[in-house]
Each structure stands twice: as C-alpha cells, then as structure tokens.
Amino acid sequence: MTRPLRLSTLFLRTLREDPADAELPGHKLLVRAGYIRRAAPGIYSWMPLGLRVLRKVERIVREEMDAIGGQELSFPALLPREPYEATNRWTEYGPNLFRLHDRKGVDMLLGPTHEEMFTLAVKDMFSSYKELPLTLYQIQTKYRDEARPRAGLLRGREFIMKDSYSFDVGDDGLDEAYQRHREAYIKMFDRLGFDYVIVHADSGAMGGSASEEFLAVSPVGEDTFVRCEASGYAANVEAVVVPRAPAVDEATVAATPAAHVEDTPDSPTIATLVSQADALHPRSDGRGWTAADTLKNVVVLLTHPDGSTEPLAIGLPGDRDVDAKRLEAQVAPADWRPFEAADFAAYPMLAKGYIGPGVLGEERSSGIRYLLDPSVAEGSAWVTGADEHGKHVFDLVLGRDFTADGTIQAGEIREGDPSPDGAGPLTLARGIEMGHIFQLGRKYAEALDLKVLDENGKLVTVTMGSYGVGVSRAVAAVAEATHDELGLVWPRELAPADVHVVATGKDAAVFDHAGGLVDQLAAEGVEVIYDDRPKVSPGVKFKDAELLGVPTIVVVGKGLADGVLELKDRRTGERQDVPVDAAVEQILAAVRPGA
Amino acid sequence: MTRPLRLSTLFLRTLREDPADAELPGHKLLVRAGYIRRAAPGIYSWMPLGLRVLRKVERIVREEMDAIGGQELSFPALLPREPYEATNRWTEYGPNLFRLHDRKGVDMLLGPTHEEMFTLAVKDMFSSYKELPLTLYQIQTKYRDEARPRAGLLRGREFIMKDSYSFDVGDDGLDEAYQRHREAYIKMFDRLGFDYVIVHADSGAMGGSASEEFLAVSPVGEDTFVRCEASGYAANVEAVVVPRAPAVDEATVAATPAAHVEDTPDSPTIATLVSQADALHPRSDGRGWTAADTLKNVVVLLTHPDGSTEPLAIGLPGDRDVDAKRLEAQVAPADWRPFEAADFAAYPMLAKGYIGPGVLGEERSSGIRYLLDPSVAEGSAWVTGADEHGKHVFDLVLGRDFTADGTIQAGEIREGDPSPDGAGPLTLARGIEMGHIFQLGRKYAEALDLKVLDENGKLVTVTMGSYGVGVSRAVAAVAEATHDELGLVWPRELAPADVHVVATGKDAAVFDHAGGLVDQLAAEGVEVIYDDRPKVSPGVKFKDAELLGVPTIVVVGKGLADGVLELKDRRTGERQDVPVDAAVEQILAAVRPGA
C-alpha cells in the first residue's frame, strides 16, 4: 500500500512561464514543474515531488555502496577548524569554504568534503591491519561557497553528496578498493539512466594520484573532455598531458638566421602582427607568416590561498589560447586572473602587446617565472615581442636565443589535436561531473597520523581513496539529459511516481472509476499521482502530466463510456486504448516491465 | 533479504571505560557502544549502528506525519537573512543563531527552525482557501548555538528535527490541525517506547497561543513539570500560572500597625533577618517571624537581543526563590543574570541586602521596574529592606505603604503547591522535551504577508501552527529511558538490528552453524548483527552484546553439540535453550511477536 498523491491537495504549483533565474532547460523544468525552488543563490528547497526523486537517487547510491561492503555513517556538516588546519585545507580552500565563529568566537566551518573526519574516526577506532580493508560512506549535505553557482542544482552552494573513503594497508589494497568503487559507480550510473563517460581526471586541489571522473555527456556540461576513438582514451580537458614536441634537428637550427628586431608599429595583437610580418620580413621558405609562427606571452597573476600573489608568464604558439580551466588546475590551490593595468604598472619592463622572452624568466629583469607550452620545441624559431612598444624579434630560437623556467599544461586542447597516447586525433565534448574516484594515497593519513600495525607489528601509514557522487546534482543531470519540449521525462527508477492518473471532465462516474483504479494500484504498491482536481480543464491536466514527467500516464475520461482507458508512455508518446477490465494488469506490466 | 552486520568487519569499537566528556548514563552508553562520537561541543557523528537507530526514529515520525496528510519537503539549512529579518528573529534569536557571511559579504544563517521559509513557500504557491488546509513537514538538520550544549544528543548545536507547519483560513481550522498533530504525536511517542507526559507549555520566544509539550519523563531531564493527580492538569513549570492571592480583608489591614523601621544589623540575608526579628519586634499575634513573612527583593539585569540592558526587581516571599527558567520564559527574548557589583555601583540607592520597595518601581528613585510574585496579596504586611544598610521596615502593607508595577510568574513552584485549577496539590517531576505543538496563529503570516482569498473573495491572513519533534534527541531520550547497568536496551522498533547472534569458541562447526542461521534469518528479512569475530573470548562477546542492546540475543556455542542454541531476551534477561531445528521459528516469533 502506497499513499497516492492527489493533485487536489498536493503542495504543488506548476508554472507556464520559465523562471527568470534559470538558464538551462532541465533547470527551468524542475522549477516550472514544482520540484525545486530557489532559496538563495546556489541554494534550493526540495518540494514534495523533487524530494521523492532525490530520495530515489539516494537509494540507488546507497544500494550500490552497500553492495561493495560500504558502511554508512554520518558526520556533522558544522565542523571544528583543527582537523582542516592539520591538512592545510582550512587555508587551501580559500573563499570556497564557508567559515564562521560560534558564540565563543571559536572558528568553525561547513564541511565541503570530509576526508579529515573519516581519517580521524578510523585513527581513533581501528589500530590493526586485520581491521582493514574498510570502506565508509555518508550521504550528506555539503557546503561550498562557489564563486559562480550555476544552473540550479548543477553547481550549488548547499548540495547533497555521497562521499566515501577506503582505508587499506598497501597500494594493492587501494587499487582494489578503487576498482570496487569504479564498478559500483558503473552500476549506479547505469541505473540513473543517462549517458556517461569515464575520463582521466585532474586531481585538482585534492593531491594524490590515480583519478577518474564520471561525466554525464551533456552539451550544457561545465567540463570539457576529450576522447580518442581509436584507443578509447578519454580525459577531462584539465587532465590531458600534451607531450613535449621533439627538438628541431641541429641542421635546421644552424640554418636559422640570427635573431633580429624589427619595427612592427601598431601590432599589439597576434592578428595585427601577422598581417604585417610578411611585408617586414618575408619567411626564408617563402610561405607567409601565420599565427602559429608567433610566440604569444601571456602574463597572469596568481593569488595563493594565504592571499599572497605572484605573476606567471606563459609562452605558447600565437594560434592557441590559454585554457582557463587547464591553467586553473595547474596552479591550484592558487587562483589566477589576467594581468591588469595596475599589475603592468608594477612591472615597467613588460611592454604590453610586445612582451618577449627577453625580460621573462626568474633570471631576467622581470624575475617573472616563465613557462612554455609543451608544443614549443627546443630549437624552434619564433616571432615574438621585443619588449619595446612597436617592436618584435624574428628568428628567435628556443635554446639558442632564449630559455624558460619549464613547461606548463595550460594551452587549449582542440578538436583534432593528437591523442597523448599517439593513437589518433581527439574529439571534444562536454559533460557534467557526476562522480569522482580518486586514489588519495597517504596524504591525509600522513597529515593526521593514521597508522596501523602491520603483520610484523610495525606501524604503517594507511592508504586512502576518496570517492564522490553528486546526489542532488544527479537529479539535475537526469533532468537535463531526459527532458523534451513538453516537460520532464523521468527514467522509471527515479520518477516521483510510477503512474500519473488523469481524470477528465465533470462526470462523477469518471472520478469514481479513476479513484477506484488509483486505490487498486496503490494496494499493489504502485506509486500514483492522481489528478483529481475537479474544476481543471483536460488540457491543463494533460499539460501538467507532460510537465511532471511520470513515465506512464493513464487517462480516465470520455472513453470510459465505451469501456476503455488511455495508456500513454511519456517518453515515446505512444498511446493505446485499454479495456477497463484489463487496465490494472496492463498498467502493472508497463510499470514493472521485468516482472 | 537484509545484509547482516558482521562484527569482524563492522566499523565499531566498543569501550569498557566511560568517556570523559559524557555526563548521563545513556549518553555514556551510546558512546561506549560506538553509536555516536563527539566531533565538537554539542556536535556528534553518527556511527553505523547509531545511524540505523536514527533512521528508525525518522521512519516512525515520517509514517505518523504522512498518516495525518503531512507532505514532506526539505528546505536548506543555510539560509538568507531577509526572511528572518522580516519576523525579527534575526535579532531575537541573539547568540543562539549561527550567523555567517558568504564570500560576497552577504549575511546568512544556519536555520534554527523554518517558520519563515514554509510561510514564504505557501505564500508563493497557494492563493485560495480552497487549497487549504495544508500540513507540510521536513526532517532536517538544524542549528542552534546553545550556550550550554548538554548530554550529547539531548541538547546539541547540530541536531535533527522534524518540524511541521499547518496552514488554515480560520481558528477552527488551526484547532483541528493542532488536534491532528496532537494525536499523531501520541502515536509517535507510543511507538518510540518511553514514558511521556503532555504538559501545557510556555510559548517562550515563539509568540502565539495554545502550546503543549511532550516530555519524556526522566530524572535527567532539563525541564521540570508539575502534575495535579486530582484533575490531570500537567504543565511545564515555566507555564504554571500562579493565581493572584486574594486581597487581605480591610479589617485586618486596618488593624496592622503603621510601618516602622528597625535596626537589623548584619542581616543582609533572609536567614539572618528572621533569626533576630523576634527579638527586635515580636509579632502582635505571638507566633514567631518566619521567612514567609519577609519580602525578598531580587534585582536582575536583562539583556535584550539588540544588546541593550535593563534592570528588573522582583519581590517575593522570603521563603521562595526566583526560578531561573520561569524568569527566563517571562523575560524572553531577553536574557537575564543576577545583579553584579558593577550594576549595584550604577544604582547607589540600592542597599545590597536591604533593598526595599521604597526605592523600587518606575516611579521611585531607582526607576527600576518592580514586579511582585502573585502570592503577595494586596493588603498583606511584610518585613522587608528599608534601603539603608542594617535596617529593615516592619508592617509594610501592600497597597497602603507600597505599590509595584505589576506581577511576574517567576517564583519557584514547589511540591505541594496548589494546582492553578484549584483541584489539589501539585507534584513535581523532570522530563526531556521531545515534542512541541504550538498554535502560532497569525504572527508569521502577518510578518510575511501570507494571505489567501476566502469564500467571499476577500483576502484573509492564514493561521498557522508549528509542531516539532526532536529526532536525534529521541535516540538519546530512549537510551536514557531504557538502558540498564549492562548497556543499552532498545525497544524493538528502534533497535539497530532484530537479533544479535553470538558464535563462541573455536569450533568451526559452531561458526558454520551460526553463519547458516544468520543467512536463513537474513533471507527472512530479519536484521542481524553477527558476532563472527574468531579470536574474541565468549566473555567479551557477551559483554558487547549486552552493551549494544539488541532485543534478542542468540548464542551458538557449546550447546550445539547437544543440539541446542540459547535465546536471550536482552530486556528481561530471560534465557531459554531452543532445539536447533526450532531455532529459526522461535527467533522469528521473538522478533515479530504480533505476526
């Protein structure tokens, strides 16, 4: 027996208009269909139908975690500072961490993830290798003060996550725990019902080694990932490691003319430079200069979590931009922003628009660390800034005429770029990060001194993995992936109900029959939304049913006089008339296709 | 099929010693049995077994709320300031509210209760009387920065509450919603399995009218309540309204001598005063002076939520103290503390130890508001301070010789005091506040402008009720109510498992048999804790079983050779040998006594 939800009393108001503050179609529909409501930027309330979907996601996650022996517990969201101080995350998290004082002035925080708490709990309770392996998890509300909360539940400031942690005595154990999670995640995401891809991931601020993300493939995703059809390689764009270009052969370098400075008036951009380069200094090989022949030097300002700042210069071919997210991943936990007028003022040797390797590098006049894109080969010749307004230098050869302090993986990755494994070209697509599995290694165990006795009675540091699933985000991701122009289209396992029964017209017999059907279905354990609103037109009722997105819609209306009901599949739009006597049986078959 | 919990792998460590930071026996046991762990003062983590109990409490609460048509939703814990500003609670909550700034400096708070959010949601979604009545609820983590977090889960700073709100168009509707909740709470608390009493409650800072509390009767409770056997009257001590004592008849007043000041050296206390009063000025009726004949004037300092302060003087018979909690309830949302040396310095007309009505009152020299206990009758004569060190005044008659600014319900209530309904004497006991039902009326709806159209198309303000249950607190209250000297003793509906199977000794056949039994029980849907630890002594296993408190304990051990297992009832201690063949059946009968 499952209590039916009657629309005459359900706390629900559907909207015909898109909400002003929603950007993505799935988000708009979740608000229009009354599943969620915005309480503050990046903070949402769950209305009755939304909460049902959320609970179903939680159930799937819980079942798959239990199946790999995960043990559920629940840590507080409001936490003391000390453990996060010990791992330096109190500082590293920067402004993303919600910090507060209690009435005694004690520093506290709202937990963004709980590595510290889990590590300390295991340290306190377990002491021997015999008690490991161990996998603990929680499904819990977390907090991150995102600079740009986005798209409702997709990037919120208060959100629900499953976070789990594995504890092992050695790297092999960690590998196994990682694989177990990987398989559990595959089952979980298969059940959630959207296309996803598993990509190599940058480990970001978390520190550690092996790391993969589960991305819901979606044009509205915030993450860009690459795939190589030939090899199956897939990676988050932040995690792509562009191989170092092979050095230019010595003969070619020897044949390159000596570097020479030319007047290039009014050419502070690559485009303006290239447009006049042929006239100024034709290439010896006869083909014209292109942006790819120029070396662009981009200067940014890093802000470290402790508030200190540091400039950084990046040299890369002029036809390629710095990728904001790749750079972010490389400099984390620092933030970065482009150099601004005030920054240039502090470094007068930087001629804006004409910056070159002559002043860049820790050993040169600016003292600014200078890193090159790996595609800039040793021995390659470039047109680049001559550090004087209106002047560029030509035939400047890396290794012969200039050097840098190292390389950086911050240049953009483009469709058709070679796969790092050499197997073929890359394609690009976008995705929503739904899960992250991650070999933390010993970072947290070392910081918090989590050791156990091994077989020989020796204290060894425990190895840990950390594994996350965006539970509230999954509701949004499914909405984005499965909606159509009429409304939400829930996969059966997540739908707020199994069946949406619509009674139309004013005929009491229709409502009597529909009510009886609803009771019969409820008695069978079927979850029913029943549109029993007496004075609402059939058109509005049908529109609401499409909008709410329950997989099976049953219409009890005019057909009843002829002994038939209408069954409609929300996803396919397929309709069929069903004799009244066979209705329950056919609805059950639709609701439980496997049974 | 329910996955058994094997103690060989369960994330659990039981402690033989009481934790240093636990005061109450139930709290000590919850920590010792590994159900909860302290993360910070008043903030606890739920370990696997504790979380199971918590979820069962939640289920009971949810079922009873659903049964009265409550609709579950979930609001954020991190909230914007504005709605709480509109109702003045941003200020009124004082230091009990966790406040913080986000990265943009915007004021936010951690929700203590959610009247505002519910009111605004209904305002936004519903607009007609036809959509009411409506009952909404959530089971959610809440935050209050308690000055004195206490006894683990009993008074925490992060805790789980069910809060629900009813919305109606008129007072009759509110009464019905209130009654529905009252009945649901009775069912809920009956299922939770502890003694409770429903008492009239002070509404405290919430504002509003009818209000009752469900108190778990417990010697460790923070709340004192009174009962009158004869009438069934029961009230929180804060809610007891002592009737005003009838005026003394005129003849008696006329016969009272004129007030006269006497030297009473070294008598700054009631005891020192009474001990010398007979010698100084014998009573005309011949019986000696007692503390009850003296009028004690207590001065306190109120601190309002906005930080402003104000003194208050309370006059009451010298044999009765001010009750801290009754005073707190009367002055809320202000806090109070006793007058200190610096306060006295600011009011030189107050002669400490000899303060009398001569300087008290808004119209007199101190200007301090002066309120009398209702037991101080008009026309009654008193010995009280003469506002000069070493002097008291005798035969000072209320109405003739002095007046006050009103009365206050702040004097202590004592065993044997008359019931306010006049039906007989009161008895006192202590309890833990587990639930609170409360007719809010129109306070929040007015502050946030929640109106709907009534039958006549006129806008009317909605009436609201607010209803809370301490969900995490219930786990603690049950632990306090049901434990014994050996450990926890869970009622069946809350226990983390139905059966605790202990395999003892080293015999492989024992473990094989126990494992098979566990699998059979699990297949029947029975929740089992299985102590399969290979190298732990039977004594330790039995102790742990008693400590964990699962209602049915099954021992598979030496008896197996004779074809018997031992069944033990944790609560009664009753043991019985059961033939191996009948074991599953008998265990099922014990686990499902009604089935």
Residues 508-527 of B with CB under 8 A from A: none
Nearest CA to A43 out of A144, A114, A139 is that of A144
Chain B residues close to A158, C-beta within 8 Å = 76-78
Counting one residue from A and one from B, how many pairs have CB atoms under 8 Å apart? 143
Q: What mean pLDDT is predicted for residues A187-203?
A: 88
Domain borders along chain B are 53-240+428-478, 250-407, 497-591
A536 reaches B (C-beta below 8 A): no
Question: Which pLDDT value is given to residue B391?
Answer: 93
The rounded distance, in Å, linking the Cα atoms of B82 and B103 is 17
How many residues does the structure list for chain B?
595
Question: Which pLDDT value is given to residue B206?
Answer: 41
Query: Residue A68's closest chain B neighbor by CA?
Result: B3
ipTM value for the complex: 0.87
pTM for the structure as a whole:
0.88
Nearest CA to A116 out of A76, A147, A154 is that of A76
Residues 6+ apart with CB under 8 A from B341: none
Domain spanning B497-591 has what CATH number?
3.40.50.800
Do B47 and A134 lie within an 8 Å CB cutoff?
no
- Do domains A57-77+111-240+428-478 and A497-591 share one topology? The answer is no
Report yes or no: B238 and B200 within 8 Å, Cβ to Cβ.
no
Residues 6+ apart with CB under 8 A from B342: none
Question: Which pLDDT value is given to residue A1?
Answer: 67
Q: What mean pLDDT is predicted for residues A92-121?
A: 94
Q: What mean pLDDT is predicted for residues B558-575?
A: 95
Question: Which pLDDT value is given to residue B321?
Answer: 95
Question: Which pLDDT value is given to residue A19?
Answer: 87
**Average pLDDT score, chain B:** 93
Nearest chain B CA: its distance from A519 CA (Å): 16
Joined tokens for residue B543: 């102790």
| CATH architecture entry for B53-240+428-478 | 2-Layer Sandwich (3.30)
Joined tokens for residue B203: 């509404």
Q: What mean pLDDT is predicted for residues A113-122?
A: 95
Question: Which pLDDT value is given to residue A540?
Answer: 96
A78 reaches B (C-beta below 8 A): yes
Please name the member of A45, A78, A102 whose beta carbon is closest to the beta carbon of B121: A45
In the three-class reduction of DSSP (H, G, I as helix; E, B as strand; rest coil), residue B594 is classed as coil
Cis check for the bond before A551: say yes or no (omega within 30 of 0): no
Category of A465 on φ-ψ map: left (φ > 0), alpha (ψ -120 to 50) or beta: beta
Question: Greatest CA separation found in chain B?
Answer: 96
Q: Taking 80 as the threshold, does the pLDDT of residue B207 lie above it?
A: no
The rounded distance, in Å, linking the Cα atoms of B320 and B301 is 20
CA B126 to chain CA centroid, nearest Å: 34
Do B73 and A95 lie within an 8 Å CB cutoff?
no
In the three-class reduction of DSSP (H, G, I as helix; E, B as strand; rest coil), residue A586 is classed as helix
In the three-class reduction of DSSP (H, G, I as helix; E, B as strand; rest coil), residue A263 is classed as strand
B117 reaches A (C-beta below 8 A): yes
Please name the member of A39, A79, A136 whose beta carbon is closest to the beta carbon of B11: A136
Please name the member of B76, B98, B141 whose beta carbon is closest to the beta carbon of A39: B76
The rounded distance, in Å, linking the Cα atoms of A230 and A424 is 6
Report yes or no: B112 and B205 within 8 Å, Cβ to Cβ.
no
Question: Which pLDDT value is given to residue B208?
Answer: 45
- DSSP label at residue A323: P
Chain A residues close to B121, C-beta within 8 Å = 11, 37, 45, 47
Token pair 């506040």 is at which residue? B433
Question: Which pLDDT value is given to residue B413?
Answer: 94
Paired with B167 in beta bridges are B134, B464
Do B37 and A121 lie within an 8 Å CB cutoff?
yes
Do A78 and B108 lie within an 8 Å CB cutoff?
no
Nearest chain B CA: its distance from A486 CA (Å): 22
The pLDDT tens digits for A464-486 are: 999 999 999 999 999 999 999 99
Question: Which pLDDT value is given to residue B273?
Answer: 86
Please give the helix or strand (H or E) that residue B556 lies within, else none.
strand B552-556
Nearest 10 degrees: CA dihedral of B529, B531, B532, B535? 160
The pLDDT tens digits for B356-379 are: 999 999 999 999 999 999 999 999
Query: Residue A43's closest chain B neighbor by CA?
Result: B76
Token pair 């004075």 is at which residue? A535
Chain B residues close to A121, C-beta within 8 Å = 11, 37, 45, 47
Q: What mean pLDDT is predicted for residues A346-368?
A: 94
Chain A residues close to B39, C-beta within 8 Å = 75-76, 79-80, 117
CA A68 to chain CA centroid, nearest Å: 24
Helices (H), B406-530: 443-447, 471-482, 508-523
How many residues does the structure list for chain A?
595
Joined tokens for residue A578: 């069903």
Joined tokens for residue B471: 């969900």
Please give the helix or strand (H or E) that residue A502 lies within, else none.
strand A499-503
The pLDDT tens digits for A358-385 are: 999 999 999 999 999 999 999 999 999 9
Q: What mean pLDDT is predicted for residues B551-555?
A: 97
Q: What mean pLDDT is predicted for residues A197-209?
A: 64
Helices (H), B448-500: 471-482
Do A45 and B117 lie within an 8 Å CB cutoff?
yes
Report yes or no: A452 and A127 within 8 Å, Cβ to Cβ.
yes
Question: Which pLDDT value is given to residue A595?
Answer: 66
Other Cβ atoms less than 10 A from the Cβ of B553: the count is: 23
Superfamily of segment(s) B250-407? YbaK/aminoacyl-tRNA synthetase-associated domain (3.90.960.10)
Nearest 10 degrees: CA dihedral of A141, A142, A143, A149? -80
Domain spanning A57-77+111-240+428-478 has what CATH number?
3.30.930.10
Residues 44-73 of B with CB under 8 A from A: 44-48, 50-51, 54, 66, 69, 71-73
Q: Taking 60 as the threshold, does the pLDDT of residue A205 lie above it?
A: no
Q: Render A444-499 in DSSP notation, one character per residue.
A: HHHHTT-EEE-TTS-EEEPEEEEEEEEHHHHHHHHHHHH-BTTB----TTT-S-SE
Q: What mean pLDDT is predicted for residues B238-251?
A: 92
Q: What mean pLDDT is predicted for residues A5-26?
A: 92
Q: Taking 70 as the threshold, does the pLDDT of residue B147 lie above it?
A: yes
A147 reaches B (C-beta below 8 A): yes
Other Cβ atoms less than 10 A from the Cβ of B283: the count is: 16
The rounded distance, in Å, linking the Cα atoms of A538 and B523 is 47
Joined tokens for residue B214: 């469900």
Category of B50 on φ-ψ map: left (φ > 0), alpha (ψ -120 to 50) or beta: alpha
Q: What mean pLDDT is predicted for residues A426-453?
A: 94
Joined tokens for residue B261: 């000041």
The rounded distance, in Å, linking the Cα atoms of B16 and B24 is 16
Question: Which pLDDT value is given to residue B151?
Answer: 75
Higher-confidence residue of B415 and B333: namely B415
Residues 6+ apart with CB under 8 A from B539: none
- B449-460 CB burial, b ≥16 within 10 A, e <16: ebbbeeeeeeeb
Q: Taking 70 as the threshold, does the pLDDT of residue B203 lie above it?
A: no
In the three-class reduction of DSSP (H, G, I as helix; E, B as strand; rest coil), residue A130 is classed as helix
Please name the member of B12, B78, B158 whose beta carbon is closest to the beta carbon of A158: B78
Q: What mean pLDDT is predicted for residues B448-457?
A: 95
Please name the member of B13, B80, B110 whose beta carbon is closest to the beta carbon of A125: B13
Do A76 and B48 lie within an 8 Å CB cutoff?
no
Question: Which pLDDT value is given to residue B407?
Answer: 95
Range in A63-67, B123-127, B275-279, B326-330 the model is least confident about: B275-279
Helices (H), B194-299: 250-255, 270-280
B145 reaches A (C-beta below 8 A): yes
Residues 153-192 of B with CB under 8 A from A: 157-158
Do B108 and A46 lie within an 8 Å CB cutoff?
no
Higher-confidence residue of A265 and B49: namely B49
Chain B residues close to A9, C-beta within 8 Å = 69, 134
Residues 6+ apart with CB under 8 A from B358: B364, B386, B387, B393, B402
Do B39 and A76 lie within an 8 Å CB cutoff?
yes
Percent of chain A at pLDDT exceeding 90? 82
The rounded distance, in Å, linking the Cα atoms of B132 and B572 is 49
Paired with A456 in beta bridges are none
The rounded distance, in Å, linking the Cα atoms of A254 and B382 is 115
Report yes or no: A448 and A87 within 8 Å, Cβ to Cβ.
yes
Confidence of residue B280 (pLDDT cuts 50, 70, 90): confident
Query: Residue B118's closest chain A neighbor by CA?
Result: A45
Q: Taking 70 as the threshold, does the pLDDT of residue A267 lie above it?
A: yes
Question: Which pLDDT value is given to residue B133?
Answer: 96
Q: Taking 60 as the threshold, does the pLDDT of residue A208 lie above it?
A: no
Please name the member of B40, B50, B73 whose beta carbon is closest to the beta carbon of A46: B73
Q: What mean pLDDT is predicted for residues A345-356?
A: 94
**Most B CBs within 10 Å: which of A82, A103, A119, A148, as the mutation test of the B interface?**
A103
Q: What mean pLDDT is predicted for residues B486-495?
A: 96
Query: Residue A33's closest chain B neighbor by CA?
Result: B125
The rounded distance, in Å, linking the Cα atoms of A538 and A8 is 14
Please name the member of B46, B121, B147 whose beta carbon is closest to the beta carbon of A74: B46
Token pair 């009367």 is at which residue? B330
Token pair 């995703």 is at which residue? A221
Q: Taking 90 as the threshold, does the pLDDT of residue A397 lie above it?
A: yes
Q: What mean pLDDT is predicted for residues A81-101?
A: 92
Higher-confidence residue of B282 and A532: namely A532
Nearest 10 degrees: CA dihedral of A508, A509, A513, A514? -40
Q: Taking 90 as the threshold, does the pLDDT of residue A425 lie above it?
A: yes
Please name the member of B45, B72, B96 whose beta carbon is closest to the beta carbon of A117: B45
Please name the member of A40, A47, A136 whose beta carbon is closest to the beta carbon of B73: A47
- Please, what is the angle between helix B471-482 and helix B48-67, to 10°? 110
Please name the member of A3, A45, A72 whose beta carbon is closest to the beta carbon of B66: A3
